[in-house]
Chains A and B, each alone.
Chain A
């Protein structure tokens, strides 16, 4: 199969953003007729006609600013020389972009810039990739007539230290700021404001004294508010803001479009390389999810791919107390296949299973579940999506009929009121957060429902209208109260409900929520949310125009996770907020391919496309193609597998790209389950925590090393393209293929495109998807089939997938996990921007500069009564276990609530979390654990034991020759 060649996409900088107007205007530029939407700048119109007007301060990701005056043109009938970037087109306009007058002006402008710029182009890191250089060429600058007396770039001038000279700031691990090369075009400042929305940069001073400055006086980039998204680096026309990797490795010469492997936003990137040396990742401006933006993880944190910790050779051992032995792929695969078949012979077909990865591609996930169903012969497949978004699947399927978010990310541009519940987008889904913040700055209203005062509640130029700081575990009570207000105050959208939903079910639901016990005044005591705030928030959502709801793991990871998802769906239906841009129910997915892993049949009860294994027709489709009989019974879910292992009926587990020991709740239970198995196979990049209990380690490959697709939170199928050869020798799908074939599968795939063809042939919502079509369209949102050949940006437009929308009664049931005298505080967990999930990748990059360890956020009041001061080591104990970490005092959390992240294995926050789980899906209740906090003097005994065990089991014997 030949590799696909990318069609050339127009990557030119058009100077100013595209206009969205539907009214077209025709004008003449340099004698050519050009027709563009009203509101387009003369600069962009020229670019459309293939004419590049010289420019420095304009770039098409930012609003025009008009400061450099390099882009001047002449317009017939107008006086002077207007700047083309700030001049909108008009019907019949006649523009000349070249005349002796404008040429002279442009040369003069360039002369001024160049006279205050070091002329060390040959050794400059931006050589060949510098707009200042390009423009000097474009305007025909041949000499600089005056020598500046005062400059910004010379460390010494006129014999003494130059007070205008500011040395390079290389505090950020990924890029440098070299003020000597700055032309003060303010593109960086505007990018930080308009694109990222952080407002970390300002221009201080004016005229000759104006400088770019990060944070306040005395700050450098690292100590400022900068979140290292790279937008400013991207916008900078010179070498002033420059990736350190480019400084080190030189300008890249080729590029491949691919998709970020970190979070569910699914940003598109241009991987830029020299040969097979990755030089930098640049956000791709035609990426539909990110539109040229990125966050610190996708843009910079790819160093893990070449980290020395990566394991590149397969390893095996008979028992987990032995050191690892490096072996050939052949031996490792043979050993594994034999062991798994032996287990099945001894303990039955059902004694083994596998876990698919939300980090791997759709094709890889599909193959793992196929191996389990067709080769293992059972349905014991699950995915770590179990521990994050399984309630989304259950809840949205029950109410709307499909297990996915209803919108595309573009939808946020049309929203008027946003509810963010149980999500922290600025940290978890940064690029989406930037798009949301942009809309908020344009005036959309925000309601935050979260126990913590997350950044969105208040940060530069945005503030939530309402923050409902609920007690962890009371989501259902709060949402039901909001519904109570909407129904009892007559704010429900009756028309929508009558035409789109089941009216009798609504009537039942309305009666249920109208009960005075659901009134905010009644629930206030329980939820801690002031009734007046809740009422105001409910009214705002019901009456404020297009209402959208975005939610995350703070919704799903509860014992009532599925109920909460249904309460959210109810809220959207009763306010008529579905089926058009600007509205909808939007789960923010954690890992990059959570959506895809769910779509691809990772769950033990569902074949690809969310079809139950007991459905004869669906099984028949796969049985015919695969030539096997598929078990009609649901298989074991991860927690059930571990239970069965402890019980002795489950003995072998193949884990692709997951670290269940660190990511799953109740670590001790997980380790007991793993320890009870006879063959644990871990396929990963690093010796992860789970590998401490493994008998086989199969090296995995990174997203840079394989072809495939990821599906992001908006159901968008994005291509992942091989940028370099797998360092371990095989892409993950090839490893699965080898194992399956060693167990007798007889598979013949030679390229992931063939796997996608099989998915399309078997799964109706993917029927129209193929690599050819993805090459052509870039990406597509499923369902994509005969009914929707272009894909489906917005779902449920004319009717719900299930027909009529269903209202489900949402009674609040308190979690079993209660505070009491021994455990008086509630712990909730989350993540932070620079780290990702269990941190296996990000911990192996410079991102540790931002998050060297997990800390416990605790309210100063709770800290004081315990004698805890900022930075103290504290013991965090729950009914399940205890760990130690440092305390951080903050009023972001309410009294009675503590918060931590789970990015570092030494902290093992999941030693603390219990095995309570969602009633419908067993999604663990990470977000509520009753705990106690006390001063301690260092790591707990458990942490020390754990570290010792980990070290013991990570020993590797040198390869036998």
Chain B
């Protein structure tokens, strides 16, 4: 049952995509906006780091959203 942190982020991103994929307009934009609004920088970086190794497990609209996901400012 217990998924690795990266697997969880992938699952969450894909789940967000299931919603935006059905909305009118560009799903990638909606997904990126949602992730930027609600995900803490560590989570966003985690997803981007994972996507840098593979995108095989990501839905196409999530892949399309990746460039719009805001990078964490290096603080703390």
Contacts and interface: CB of A to CB of B under 8 A. Distances in A.
A640 B19 contact: no
B31 to A, nearest CB: 11
A883 interface: no
Interface string B36-76: 01111111000000000000000000000000000011011
A634 B15 contact: no
Contacts of B41: 633
29 contacts: A348-B76, A350-B40, A378-B76, A379-B40, A380-B40, A508-B24, A559-B15, A562-B19, A605-B38, A614-B37, A633-B73, A636-B40, A640-B40, A649-B42, A666-B1, A668-B2, A808-B23, A809-B24, A813-B19, A813-B22, A879-B1, A919-B16, A919-B19, A920-B16, A920-B19, A920-B34, A920-B38, A921-B38, A922-B12
Given A915-B1, A922-B12, A644 B42 contact: yes
B49 to A, nearest CB: 12
Contact of A880 (B1, B11, B72): B1
Interface string A295-307: 0000000000000
Contacts of B38: 605, 634, 637, 920-921
Given A643-B8, A919-B15, A914 B40 contact: no
Contact of B5 (A605, A612, A631, A643): A643
A549 to B, nearest CB: 21
A350 B5 CA distance: 18
Contact of B40 (A634, A646, A672, A809): A634
Contacts of B23: 808-809
Interface string A640-679: 1001101101000000000000000010110010000000
B42 A646 contact: no
B18 A919 contact: yes
Interface of A: 348-350, 378-380, 508, 559, 562-563, 604-605, 612, 614, 631, 633-637, 640, 643-644, 646-647, 649, 666, 668-669, 672, 808-809, 811, 813, 816, 879-880, 914-915, 919-922
Contacts, number: 73
A414 to B, nearest CB: 35
A809 B42 contact: no
8 tightest A-B contacts by CB? A811-B22, A349-B76, A919-B15, A348-B76, A813-B18, A636-B40, A880-B1, A647-B5
Contacts of A612: 37
B1 A633 contact: no
A814 to B, nearest CB: 10
A934 B30 CA distance: 45
A672 B1 CA distance: 14
Nearest to A812: B22
A905 to B, nearest CB: 21
A922 B34 CA distance: 13
A880 B73 CA distance: 36
A666 B1 CA distance: 10
Interface of B: 1-3, 5, 8, 11-12, 15-16, 18-19, 22-24, 34, 37-43, 72-73, 75-76
A816 B8 CA distance: 13
A667 to B, nearest CB: 12
Given A605-B37, A920-B34, A350 B19 contact: no
A479 to B, nearest CB: 15
A640 B16 contact: no
Nearest to B46: A647
Nearest to A562: B19
Nearest to A880: B1
A661 to B, nearest CB: 16
A635 B75 CA distance: 13
B19 A563 contact: yes
A348 B75 CA distance: 9
A562 B12 CA distance: 14
Nearest to B39: A634
Contacts of A563: 19
Nearest to A814: B18
A647 B5 CA distance: 7
Contacts of A644: 42
A817 to B, nearest CB: 11
B22 A604 contact: no
B15 A669 contact: no
A367 B3 CA distance: 35
Nearest to B34: A920
B8 A634 contact: no
B38 to A, nearest CB: 6
B19 A349 contact: no
A919 B24 CA distance: 18
Contacts of B24: 508, 809
Given A612-B37, A921-B38, 8 more contacts: A508-B24, A559-B15, A647-B5, A811-B19, A915-B1, A919-B18, A919-B19, A922-B12
A639 to B, nearest CB: 9
Contacts of A348: 76
Nearest to A644: B42
Contacts of A605: 37-38
A380 B41 CA distance: 11
A920 B33 CA distance: 12
Contacts of B12: 919, 922
Given A809-B23, A915-B1, A635 B16 contact: no
A634 B37 contact: yes
A919 B5 CA distance: 17
A280 to B, nearest CB: 46
B18 to A, nearest CB: 5
Contacts of A922: 12
Given A634-B39, A809-B22, A914 B1 contact: yes
A920 B17 CA distance: 10
Contacts of B18: 811, 813, 919
A640 B42 CA distance: 10
Nearest to A881: B1
Contacts of A350: 40, 42, 76
A209 B25 CA distance: 75
Contacts of B40: 350, 379-380, 604, 633-637, 640
Nearest to A919: B15
